[in-house]
Homo-oligomer: A and B are copies of this chain.
Amino acid sequence: MNIQKPYLLFLGDAHDQLAAKVADGIKQWHPEYCVGQYRMANCHADCQLTDMDIDAAVKAGAKTLVVGVANRGGIISKEWISVLSAALEKGMDLAAGLHNKLSDVPELRALADRLGRNLFDVRHPTQQYPVASGRKRSGKRVLPVGTDCSCGKMYTALAIEKEILARGGKATFRATGQTGILISGAGVSVDAVVSDFVSGAVETLAPANEADHWDVIEGQGSLFHPSFAGVTTGLIHGAQPDALVLCHEPTRTHMRGVDYPIPDIADCMALNLKMAQLTNPDARFVGISLNTSALSDADALALMAELEVRHGLPVVDPFRQGVGAIVDKLAAL
């Protein structure tokens, strides 16, 4: 899945800023992908981009209109169709990561077919993947893993890619979920892949590369989440990570969506390492990445100092300090 850039970010009728978090993510990590934003009359979000209509966006070079908004149902809204249709008419592709597909909206499907445009439904893999071979590939790979779902794995991966590139190194973020795909313009939603092919999909996503190139693979789920640990296992095995980063949200009291406790950090690291070493015996942890947004500065720093001593690894909050200390460790591998 390779989405053409640059983008016009469609904020639609977002009822608040949080509803536009996909657009926010694209703007934050890749402002250079964004020519502008499209807001409908009743839009309550603003990504601080130039407001454009479809004609202005086309003139500014936009190749794809990206739906960067989720309404309450997470579906394509009827109110959006006229704008999406106009984008197709004027020469753009469409991309979205919602529950229902752009390509299942008959009007959009027919228009795209007639005009030869692409509809990217990034939640829904279209490619066939092989069964994983388990064979070692050249190049280096780092994978954030988590004590839970949604605890900072994508943010950490994007921050690591950015830091390596800023230092003049070679790195590619490899998206494994819909938001990451829309942010980076490529990837595969591994949780939507048929289970037999998850590891093979990740092998395909992060292929052999130059010896000093880092694939920064987006992690998913948690080995301790009773709903999704199978996805996590397949992802770890296909990734063959040389380096792991443990991601953790320290104020969470139970796993997302289920009545299960958050695992102990040492226990979580031990199991992730055990799984990772099946396909890469040299796998090791290089750091801990915390999401301390719910803590005061003082509490966050105290916790980080404590974890650093306890686990003997650099501990960062990418949002507070960046991931320099983790990238130092990667450089030393």
Contacts and interface: CB of A to CB of B under 8 A. Distances in A.
A226 B271 contact: no
How many copies of this chain does the complex contain? 2
A234 interface: yes
14 contacts: A134-B258, A191-B194, A194-B194, A194-B195, A195-B198, A195-B234, A196-B227, A199-B227, A199-B228, A230-B235, A230-B237, A233-B233, A260-B278, A271-B274
Identify the 8 closest CB pairs spanning chains A and B, nearest first.
Answer: A230-B234, A134-B226, A191-B196, A233-B233, A230-B233, A132-B227, A195-B195, A195-B231
Contact of A229 (B133, B271, B278): B278
Contacts of A191: 194-196
A79 interface: no
A224 interface: yes
A222 to B, nearest CB: 10
Interface in A187-207: 190-196, 198-200
A259 interface: yes
A135 interface: yes
- Which of A135, A229, A260, A274 has the largest number of chain B CB atoms within 10 A? A229
Given A224-B278, A271-B274, A230 B134 contact: no
Interface in A213-241: 223-224, 226-235, 237
Contact of A226 (B224, B231, B279): B279
Contact of A196 (B131, B132, B228, B257): B228
A190 B198 CA distance: 13
A271 to B, nearest CB: 7
A231 B229 CA distance: 10
Contact of A258 (B133, B192, B193, B196): B133
Contacts of A274: 271
A132 B256 CA distance: 12
